[in-house]
Structure 1
Amino acid sequence: MMHVAFDAARSLLIGGRWEAVDATMDVVDPWSGAALGAVACADASHVERAVAAAMHGAAAMRELPTGVRSRILHAAALALEADGERFAAAITAETGKPIRNAAREVARAVNTLRLSAEEAVRLAGETIAFDGFPGGESRSGHYIYEPVGVVAAITPFNDPLNLVCHKLGPAFAAGNAVVFKPAEQAPLVAIMLARLLLAAGLPEGALNLLTGRGADFGDALTSHPDVAMVSFTGGASVGQAICRSAGIKRVAMELGGNGPVIVMDDADVDRAAAACVSGAFGAAGQNCIGVQRIYVHDAVHDRFRAALIAATRALRVGDPTDLSTDIGPMIGTGEATRIAAWIEEAVAGGATLLAGGERAGALVRPTLLADVPDDARVACSEAFGPVASLFRFADLDEAIDAANRADYAIHAAIFTESIRNARHAARRLRAAGVMINDSTDYRLDAMPFGGAGRGNMGREGVRFAAREMSQTKVICFHDA
């Protein structure tokens, strides 16, 4: 069991001070069911105080030289790297993510903070050619980027460290203050990171953290008139509620996906199968860019299917603290029960079970389905669990049309040795990113990241998020 080296009940960070309240909630290890600790449950009164503290923090951050912001983030990255084993163990304990995957998440989070540190000194404007239009000949000037002010950041459980760094790093690089709400299921890693950032030198009030249930204070936070921007990663229904409450302010959201992969007749079948298995079942499928639908050309379908089944059945499922484990539990028995019901529904509708399908508590064995009806939820909705569906096709455009059926997407992918087919698919696939000879699961933390279609609201990726969290100011000199 993870050892909590701090009083988790004192989990509200407001104006540089850690506070406790009478109301608490347990944080539970999804593998063992043991309580890891209890955190405070914030309410609307804490929102008022946190936003007021953030307003002071925003003023301090605005005046902080970009070089100082950069040094703080670099110091945080170094501290996180040095404490990586403890952070990885905490990720595994809170989420059930296998320890090897948790260690990779820590390494990515270090990189995200370093990218943020570098962006702090790159966030610069440009000169403007005012004399390019009649009447501007005697004018000169430029534009700069300024912080928006107070950012409300809300993160999910599936990457409880790196996704937090993707909110906080760019916000601080751009000179903002943050009121941060971590996932209810995984707040302990966020508290650990907050303590690390404070030790790195953040000004008082720059980071405020509220743990607890979103239903108790979420609306108060997102609707607060002094919050300039809401940055949210999570489900579509919560995203819709945030949009209703936020009113007139910036909103950036990543609301999930339904990743399609196309495997052409000239693809490296073994490479494609291995990538699809990794992309579908890593993090127990709780991944917004995970592989969910796989479209395979008739000419290689049977060979690919055999390779896919073999690779899926070879995965080691169980204790996430064991270095040999590939797949751990889902975040809880509720989510595991849901995805098991979706699988059963698909089979009842005519789908063929190729592998997996069994559930024990929060553990769901990696599941492959074929002959899935188009209206089954495992095909048309975001599954967010360890299940992938296999389809066959004869023509590339047919596969692209099927891949585009979902009304939202983040990444799509194609395996092919043909540049012509790769370019054709890249043009026609309706997604925010198209991966060639990689699964949909590939993400570099420096690249722009977000949705296409429904849920297309802004971009993450450090450079792009920092600009989302900034506003331009034009400075014009009239020389005459």
Structure 2
Amino acid sequence: MLKEAYPYYLANEAVFANQDLKVIDKYNGEVATSVAKAGADVIDKAIQAAEDAQPAMTAMPAYERQAVLEHCVKRFQERFDEIALALCLEAGKPIKDAEGEVTRLIDTFKIAAEESVRIEGEVLNLEITPRAKGYQGMTKKVPIGPCSFISPFNFPLNLAAHKVAPAIAAGCTFVLKPASRTPIGALIIGEILAETTLPKGAFSILPCSRDGADLFTVDERLKLLSFTGSPEIGWELKAKAGKKPVILELGGNAACVVDEGADLDDAITRIIFGAYYQSGQSCISVQRIIVHESLYDEFKERFVAEVKALKSGDPKNRDTFIGPMIAESEAVRLKTWVDEAVAAGASLLAGGERDGAMLQATVLENAPANSAINEEEAFGPVTVLSKFSDFDEALTSVNNSKFGLQAGIFTRDIYKIQKAWDVLDVGGVVIGDVPSWRVDNMPYGGVKDSGLGREGIKYAIEDMTETRLLVIRNPNG
């Protein structure tokens, strides 16, 4: 169960300053616990502490940073059930999904521990012209400096881990603002980091209100901003961030193509998972399903039947597949989009009803191209079916979106695989599976309104380090 109250972490230390932030059990709507909330003065102190600690963090040997990350892995494993239940309560995530996220949290810190001792430079041959005779070049990677992280509600553990773990591996101090709706996972990470030998001030984890968090973006002492969340907020923060580099992991409207000859048993099983796991609240959740006309009728019949059979209810029950959305207001928004699409001519094949924050697993067919459910990010348990006759037409449909995060293609044709990889304007193409698939060492990120940059530990470390050149002249050379 959750503790009665949680602190924030300022300069590595727990501070029970107040109990101003109430965390709601997303299934029953009751207050589950209270969290200390930081104001602008505390955020300022945290940034100063991170700046002051950066020289010691930079000097920390790689093996010591690796030991910190390995300690976290061990403690996450020891507290696995506790962390999973906390996630289930604060996020409304079905317990099996919560356990899966704790597993990914552990994987992410394991990968970071491995990468922490692989941050290497190179020797350059500068003698490319007679004037460079006797010159040699070398590069090394150095930490970019104090980093600012803002993480979202839908993966409170793992998306925070994808910022925190590479920062430690790279030798960067940081301040983290977790989502106010789901701060507990990040605070448990903070509790475990506080057990380690990180220099004092190396990290702060500060739940706070959005209007009090401007320093996370505008403060020039912070040398990088990494934000995961909505496109509207992300692009706004980038415009305000000043000189610092900005990494944005934003929304999606992921499409999945089922081509002729695909294994329907496999495709339906995977798309059910990819569309409805954790109630569709993932930026790579399957939203648009585009099926070849030769398979369409059978796919539709079987898919709809399986969607209707998904069990909704209390996320603590192990047989629950569909839990609550993060807030009733989000369920109301998505129900409105469904109703608007139906009024504009879409067919409702399954679901569509709402009870509080619970929205039924929903399937629409032929929603108008300009409907919100087609154009925007649903971020909930709704899919839209359509058919195609020509593969190039299907690829055009996938690209007909302002988003470009990942796409899934079920095909056995190697030439179509190559064509999809060449043509699709997305950050990643997944063949034989859903766009919702992700493993934590791969480069992950999008184009267009889906963001800038890539996460995945190795790739995040590249953003959190800078290349420093050394040139040596041999006057006798």
* TM-score scaled by length of structure 2: 0.98
Alpha-carbon RMSD across the aligned residues, in angstroms, is 1.2
Q: In the TM superposition, what whole-angstrom CA distance separates every residue of 1:100-120 from its partner, at most 9, and x where no partner exists?
A: 111111011101001001111
TM-fit CA distance, 1:132? 2.3
SS of corresponding position for 2:324:
coil
Q: Please name the residue that 2:343 is paired with.
A: 348
Contact 1:233 1:253 in 2 (8 A): yes
Letter in 2 for 1:373: P
Letter in 2 for 1:67: Y
Q: Please name the residue that 1:87 is paired with.
A: 83
SS of corresponding position for 2:341:
helix
Q: In the TM superposition, what whole-angstrom CA distance separates every residue of 1:217-263 from its partner, at most 9, and x where no partner exists?
A: 2x122100100000000001111221122111110011111101111
The answer for unaligned runs of 5 or more in structure 1 is none
Tell which deviates more after alignment, 21-30 or 234-243: 21-30
Contact 2:255 2:407 in 1 (8 A): yes
Letter in 2 for 1:235: S
Contact 2:445 2:452 in 1 (8 A): yes
TM-fit CA distance, 1:328? 0.7
Q: In the TM superposition, what whole-angstrom CA distance separates every residue of 1:430-468 from its partner, at most 9, and x where no partner exists?
A: 111001010010001000000122343111000000111
1:334-413 equivalences in 2 (<5 Å) = 334-413=329-408
2-structure distance, mates of 1:198, 1:115: 20
> Match for 1:72 among 43, 68, 72?
68
TM-fit CA distance, 1:23? 6.9
Q: Please name the residue that 1:270 is paired with.
A: 265
2-structure distance, mates of 1:81, 1:235: 31
2-structure distance, mates of 1:443, 1:16: 31
1:214-253 equivalences in 2 (<5 Å) = 214-217=210-213, 219-253=214-248
SS of corresponding position for 1:372:
coil
2:169 pairs with 1:173: yes
User: Once superposed, which parts of structure 1, at least 4 consecutive aligned residues long, lie more than 6 Å away?
Assistant: none
Contact 1:155 1:163 in 2 (8 A): yes
Letter in 2 for 1:75: H
SS of corresponding position for 1:132:
coil
Q: Please name the residue that 1:466 is paired with.
A: 461
Contact 2:14 2:191 in 1 (8 A): no
2:2 pairs with 1:3: yes
Letter in 2 for 1:380: E
1:434-473 equivalences in 2 (<5 Å) = 434-473=429-468
Tell which deviates more after alignment, 386-395 or 23-32: 23-32
TM-fit CA distance, 1:22? 4.8
2-structure distance, mates of 1:17, 1:194: 9
Q: In the TM superposition, what whole-angstrom CA distance separates every residue of 1:338-370 from its partner, at most 9, and x where no partner exists?
A: 111111111111110011111111111110000
TM-fit CA distance, 1:161? 0.5
2:50 pairs with 1:54: yes
2-structure distance, mates of 1:455, 1:308: 28
Q: In the TM superposition, what whole-angstrom CA distance separates every residue of 1:187-212 from its partner, at most 9, and x where no partner exists?
A: 01111111111213322111111112
> Match for 2:30 among 21, 29, 34?
34
The answer for unaligned runs of 5 or more in structure 2 is none
Distance 1:278 1:455, change over 3 A: closer
> Match for 1:288 among 280, 283, 299?
283
Tell which deviates more after alignment, 14-23 or 280-289: 14-23
SS of corresponding position for 1:444:
coil
Contact 1:160 1:183 in 2 (8 A): yes
TM-fit CA distance, 1:273? 1.2
Contact 2:13 2:194 in 1 (8 A): no
2:190 pairs with 1:190: no
Letter in 2 for 1:236: P
Contact 1:270 1:307 in 2 (8 A): no
Q: Please name the residue that 1:261 is paired with.
A: 256
TM-fit CA distance, 1:18? 2.3
Letter in 2 for 1:426: W
SS of corresponding position for 1:179:
strand
1:419-434 equivalences in 2 (<5 Å) = 419-434=414-429
Q: Please name the residue that 2:127 is paired with.
A: 131
Contact 2:362 2:381 in 1 (8 A): yes
> Match for 1:63 among 59, 62, 80?
59
Contact 2:251 2:449 in 1 (8 A): no
Letter in 1 for 2:215: A
2-structure distance, mates of 1:221, 1:417: 47
Instruction: Give the length in aligned residue pairs.
Output: 475
Identity %: 36
1-structure distance, mates of 2:34, 2:305: 42
2-structure distance, mates of 1:409, 1:275: 21
Contact 2:2 2:33 in 1 (8 A): no
Contact 1:270 1:304 in 2 (8 A): no
TM-fit CA distance, 1:168? 0.2
